[in-house]
Structures are given as C-alpha cells and as structure tokens.
Structure 1
Amino acid sequence: MTIKFGTDGWRAVISETFTFANLRLVAQAIADFILEEDGRNPSVIIGFDTRFLSDRYASEVARVMAANHIDTWLARADTPTPAISYTVHNKKATAGVMITASHNAPRYNGVKLKASFGGAASPAQHQRVEQLLERNLALAHGPNLMDFQEAARQDRIHKFDPSWAYYEHLSTLVDLDCISAGELRLVADGMYGSGRGVFGEMLARGRSHVRNIRHEMNPGFGGIHPEPIARHLGLLISTIQAGHWD
C-alpha cells in the first residue's frame, strides 16, 4: 500500500485507496505526530466537507484521536476549510484535520493536515507523518480506536459549531455591516460545497438579500468538480443576468 502526502495532504479515490481502513492508519500516524508535537496537552480540530461519507470519515478520525488521549473537537456539520484553520489558531490546538479533496472530482476524498498556526502543515511535517505511518505498518501497529459515544461521554470528543466564531473574526477584516446595510441583491453559488449558505448567514441581519443556488447537499456536485472556473459558472451567470442581480 502506498499513501503519500502531497503539498496539501493526502487525496485518493473513494473505495479504491481512500477507505475506512486506510484512513484509520493515516489518522493513527497523525495522532502519533500530534503526540510528538505536544505530549502534555495535545488537541486537534476536525472538520469535513460535503463529499460522499466525509462526515463518517471525520468521525472515524475523531475515534482514533480520542483513543490516543488527544482532546478532540469535531465540527457538527460540513464546514469551510478556512473556518477549521481559524479554529486551530483560535483554540491554540496542536493540529487540525480537514476531510476534503478540495476542487477534485467527486470520486476523490482526502485529508488536509493543519499545523498549530492554522495553515497547511510543512513538507517536513507531512514527511514525518509518512514516516510514522510506515513505521506503524512495519511493526503491525494497528490504529487505536475508541467507541464514539464512549469517547463523547468521557469528554474526549466535543462536537461544536466553528462557523460563528469564524464569522466574527471575518467581521474584523471586512466591514460586513456596510455590506449588509447596502441593500444589495446578491447571488451566492455554493457549488454544493461546504461554503454553501455562508454568505446568507453572514449577512442575515442586514438589508442585503442573498439568493443561494446550488446550496443543497449533493456529493456528486451536479456532475462537475467544485471549482469556480469559467465552464462551471454558467448557472451563476445566467441567474444574475435573468434576475438583474447586483
């Protein structure tokens, strides 16, 4: 079995290489890495996107982390990657794990590893996770695994909503009140990804109106891969033009 981390984590085809069994092995290697980084008060933030089984995959990662006595914070629902990155930094966590394959085709899923500052782990950190994975395989050291409900009862897994703290942080960088008060008519194209509905939530208290399109849960992404490039923006463009949106 070959599992390699690229510049932004590990990605593979679901049910081919990206399986529950392989994910648990990767999660154990990440847990070992976290314990090397902080053996006293290790903690991890876990998020996931809207891809097929992403929520289940995230729960499996949480089970492995909890079994390794790592304080684990698991997002309640699909969440944009930047919100997880911010939470890692804001909670001063040791690391973050995001279950996503970014803009890749629907058949892919993946794992992004976030360093303690919230950004992507360095090449050296990814390499260390690979080394720990190879060591565990050589020693036939299977992943530690804990029942999810038992881990929650023992306060090893905490479910939480990372969105609103992230929105509050964004409001310090962007004048959301000004946008909300502008009485703008906006179209937000979620492309069925984890950013669906975000603009509507952020601007809900103002006078601007947001129409969400492609905001339902659809792991197939409507037959496209979720990347805002010209050939995928036809629906957004036609919606704006037909409704004379701002």
Structure 2
Amino acid sequence: MSIHFGTDGWRAVISDEFTFANVRKVAQGIADLILEEQPLAPTAVVGYDTRFLSDHYAREVARVLAANGITVLITQRDTPTPIVSHAVLEHQATRGVMISASHNPPRYNGVKIKGAYGGPAMPDDARRVEAFIRDNERRHRSPAHIPYEEGLRSERIIPFDPFPAYERHIWTLIDRDPIAAAHVQAIVDPMYGAGRGFLRHLLEHVGVQVEEIHGELNPGFGGIHPEPITRNLGPLMERVKASQRTIGLATDGDADRIGAVDEDGNFVDPHHILALALRYLVEEKGLRGKVVKTVSTTRMLDRLAQRYNLPLHETPVGFNYIVEHILADRVLIGGEESGGMTIQGHIPEGDGILMSLLLVEILARWGGTLRDLVEDLHREVGPVAYARLDYRVESFSKAELVRRLSEDPPDTLAGMPVRDISTLDGVKYTLDDAWLLIRPSGTEPVLRIYAEAPRPEIVQALLEEGKRLGIGHIKR
C-alpha cells in the first residue's frame, strides 16, 4: 500500500488504509523530516479533531515523535486546525501535526503537516515525507515508539492548552467595540467538529447572544459530511429563519473553513464572505496588499482588486499554494471557494473561527443585515451566482482527463463563446461573464465541476455541460 499526500495531507478510510500501523509509518516519516531540518532540540505540536479515534491516533504520533528525540506538545482536547497552527508559531516548533480529515465523510481520517510558520506544509515537504516512508519500508526500518505514559513522565510528551494564546492574538485582529454595541444574535454550528465551544466562547466574550447547535461529540457527524455548504446546513438555515437571529455561522470538521447563513435562512457562500471581507479591509481598515485566490474562486475578487488597484494572483486549489504567496509577499487576503481563508496579520492558515468573527464585525460596523450587504455587493460587482457539482467516479487518470479536455475544447458553453482555457488546476473555460472549471479532487475519487455566472439558470446549464464533458472523456 502506497501512502500518498494530496492537496492537504494524507487521508484514508479508517481501518482500511488509515490504521495505527500506517499512522506510525507516517509519523516516522515526519520525524525524519523534522530531524533533517532541526537535529538539535526539535519540537512539534500535535493536535486532533473529533473523528473516530483521532485522539488515539494523535497519541500514536506523539509516541513516535518522542521516541525520535522530538519534544511533543499535544493538545488536551480536540482542537481546531488554525489553533494548532497558531501554536506551532507561538511555541516556535519545528513542525506541527494535525489528525483530521477536515470536511471529508466520517469514515475518513487524515494527517496534516504544518510548517514552522504556522500553516500548511508545502507540496515539497509532503513529497519528502513520502520519500522517507518509502525509504524506511525498503530498509525494513520499523517506526520507533515509546509508551505514552513514559513520554509523559519524561516530559518528552507535554499536554497543553493552545487556546489562551490564540485568543489573545485574535483580539489584535478583531475590533470588539462595534460588536459589543450591536446586540448581535447568532447561531453557531460547528457541525460536531473541533470548533465546538471555541467560536461560541469568543462571540459570548464580546456580548453576542449565541446558541450553539451540533456542539456535542459525535464522530459520525450526525450522518452528514462536516462541510459547511448548503446541502449540509439545513438545520442551521431552518433554525436561523425560525428564530429570527442576526446570522448563522458554521465551521467544518476542523474549523479551518467557514459558511454563513443570513437572517432569512439563506446560505451565504465563501465567495461572498471573501468579497465582503476584502471590501471591509480596504474601505474600513485602510489596508493594502495582494489578493490571492484559488482557481475555483469568484471573479468578484478580480473586480474588487481592479477597483482598489490591488495585485491579484490565482493559484491551484489547496491552501498551501496561497501560503506560498503569504510567506513571500504582503497579502491582504487569501482564500478559496471551499471556505478556507485568512487575512493580513494572521497566520498563513485557513481559519473559520477568525473569519466568522470578522463577518460579525462587518455586520456590526456597517449595520443592516447580511442580506443587505450581499445585495449591495451584487450592485457593485455582480450579480453573481455560483454552484459546484461533485460527481463520484471510478479510478481514472487525472492527467489524461485534463489533456483531453484542453486539447479538444468546446467552442461554446451554454450558448456563450469560450474566450480562454487554463490548465492551472484541472481545466477552466472562461466566458465573457462566466466560467466553468472541471477538476479532479486531490483527496477523494471525485470529479468536481464548478461554475459562476450572472444568473442561477446559466450556472446550472454550465454544470450540466461540464458533467457531460468530464464524464464523457473519463468513459472514452
């Protein structure tokens, strides 16, 4: 069995490929990477989400790292990925490890690697870990490990609470005064994930009246995927509408993504959250910098960046590609269609908790409702409709699919001429006021089809054509 890292770590089905033995192999590969980078007094932060056995897998990672002479700080409870990443930076650790499969179905678990800068590891880091794993298997070198209790006694494994330091940092980015004065009422849905309790606490700290749903520990996630998109947020949308609350806020399984619901129970997608945040950071806070977005993210950001005379860069899907720009340049905001986003002054990591607080600040400062803000945004840089179709498929060659789609492109889509074709990640067809992206998932056997256009009916027509093109080429 070959262990392969995708766009955000290694993920596999629990008890199939995601076993304690394989977790130890991955942990040893990460230990080898850490020791290569910092042979003297290396440290690592280890965290985990609410998935089945995540806490036990995290302990297994800690046992292996500690046996390799690495001091391990392990979170005392399930903890959001951005808080773990912040702890890596706060404690000047060599690396971080997060046990999580993020938004994937409950049967999955995963391992995310974090850099010393407090964000996702670079693709080359993952390749190096894969190489260490292969080399260890070739040499029949078993992972080192010590009993967990021995690690605790020797203080090679140290349980800790990373939240207080994260909370202090968050209040340097969020203006509490307008929130406290606005009498906001929110419903928070952590989707049974690691965000449970954290966002609620921070909102209550600034006077927001909060109701939390799906905050209990449930490794099955109530039978849904812990991904904050429309089809998974029915209970939140219904609850917000019925209770006439100001806003609904959702985070995914490890709280590095955000979704929102307006006062009428309508889903507000990450595209609009990103665009609202960009407007606010420029117009209200007077900040400047590069705008970085993934290839599947709205062109509203392009229009706003042009208006504000800000540089904009488009990357492949995967937050680590955004991180490359954050580490190299002054980035104002970076984000992706899936809900991972961050802002200037924060860690280079998607953070659903921070962005939820920022969205509440925007509501409090600008007044009106979330629906009002979205409608105003559409008047400025819209109107915009968007949808994504996920189509589960059998194994296929991703490179071959991209080659076929780009070498034999359609002249028109939904009756509109194709103006440009990009193969930055998958195949993206750009039209006059719309676009269609056909892209194989980096973590699941899924073909993702994305479309944006001025009206929902055009989006649906584009998705149907995208499905026909993608499935047609796979079955050829």
> Structure 1 counterpart of 2:187, which letter?
V
Separation in 2 of the partners of 1:228 and 1:30?
Answer: 30
How many residues are aligned here? 246
- Which residue does 1:12 correspond to in 2? 12
Report how far residue 107 of structure 1 moved: 0.4
Separation in 1 of the partners of 2:177 and 2:168?
Answer: 11
Where 1:227 maps in the other structure, the secondary structure is coil
> Structure 2 counterpart of 1:212, which letter?
E
Separation in 2 of the partners of 1:240 and 1:69?
Answer: 50
1:50 aligns with 2:87: no
Q: Is the 8 A contact 1:176 1:203 kept in 2?
A: no
- Which residue does 2:175 correspond to in 1? 175
1:205 aligns with 2:231: no
> Structure 1 counterpart of 2:141, which letter?
H
1:234 aligns with 2:243: no
TM-score normalised according to structure 2 size: 0.51
Q: Deviations over 1:185-224 (max 9, x none)?
A: 1100110010112222113334321100011111111111
Separation in 2 of the partners of 1:100 and 1:207?
Answer: 31
> Structure 1 counterpart of 2:120, which letter?
A
1:38 aligns with 2:38: yes
Where 1:211 maps in the other structure, the secondary structure is strand
Q: Share of identical aligned residues, percent?
A: 52
The higher radius of gyration belongs to 2
- Which residue does 1:219 correspond to in 2? 219
Q: Is the 8 A contact 1:112 1:120 kept in 2?
A: yes
Q: Deviations over 1:37-69 (max 9, x none)?
A: 100121100000000000000000001111111
1:110 aligns with 2:107: no
Where 1:8 maps in the other structure, the secondary structure is coil
Report how far residue 179 of structure 1 moved: 2.1
Q: Which has the higher strand share?
A: 2
> Structure 2 counterpart of 1:204, which letter?
E
- Which residue does 1:93 correspond to in 2? 93
Q: Deviations over 1:128-186 (max 9, x none)?
A: 10111011111111011111111111110110111121121111111235424432211
> Structure 2 counterpart of 1:233, which letter?
L
Q: Is the 8 A contact 1:187 1:212 kept in 2?
A: yes
Where 2:124 maps in the other structure, the secondary structure is helix
1:66 aligns with 2:88: no
1:192 aligns with 2:159: no
TM-score normalised according to structure 1 size: 0.97
- Which residue does 2:438 correspond to in 1? none
Q: Is the 8 A contact 1:8 1:120 kept in 2?
A: yes
Separation in 1 of the partners of 2:77 and 2:19?
Answer: 21
- Which residue does 2:243 correspond to in 1? 243
Segment drifting more, 44-53 vs 192-201: 192-201
Q: Deviations over 1:53-110 (max 9, x none)?
A: 0000000000111111101000000111001111111111100000000110000000
Where 2:205 maps in the other structure, the secondary structure is coil
1:155 aligns with 2:155: yes
> Structure 1 counterpart of 2:107, which letter?
R
Separation in 1 of the partners of 2:65 and 2:177?
Answer: 39
- Which residue does 1:128 correspond to in 2? 128
Structure 2 residues without counterparts, runs of 5 or longer: 247-476
> Structure 2 counterpart of 1:66, which letter?
A
Greater relative contact order: 1 or 2 (C-alpha under 8 angstroms, separation 6 or more)?
Answer: 1
Separation in 2 of the partners of 1:116 and 1:199?
Answer: 25
- Which residue does 1:23 correspond to in 2? 23
Report how far residue 117 of structure 1 moved: 0.7
> Structure 1 counterpart of 2:113, which letter?
L
> Structure 2 counterpart of 1:160, which letter?
F
> Structure 2 counterpart of 1:163, which letter?
F
- Which residue does 1:76 correspond to in 2? 76
Separation in 1 of the partners of 2:180 and 2:172?
Answer: 15
Q: Is the 8 A contact 1:12 1:108 kept in 2?
A: yes
> Structure 1 counterpart of 2:72, which letter?
T
Q: Is the 8 A contact 1:85 1:96 kept in 2?
A: yes
Q: Is the 8 A contact 1:181 1:208 kept in 2?
A: no
Where 1:228 maps in the other structure, the secondary structure is coil
Separation in 1 of the partners of 2:202 and 2:177?
Answer: 10
Q: Is the 8 A contact 1:101 1:109 kept in 2?
A: yes
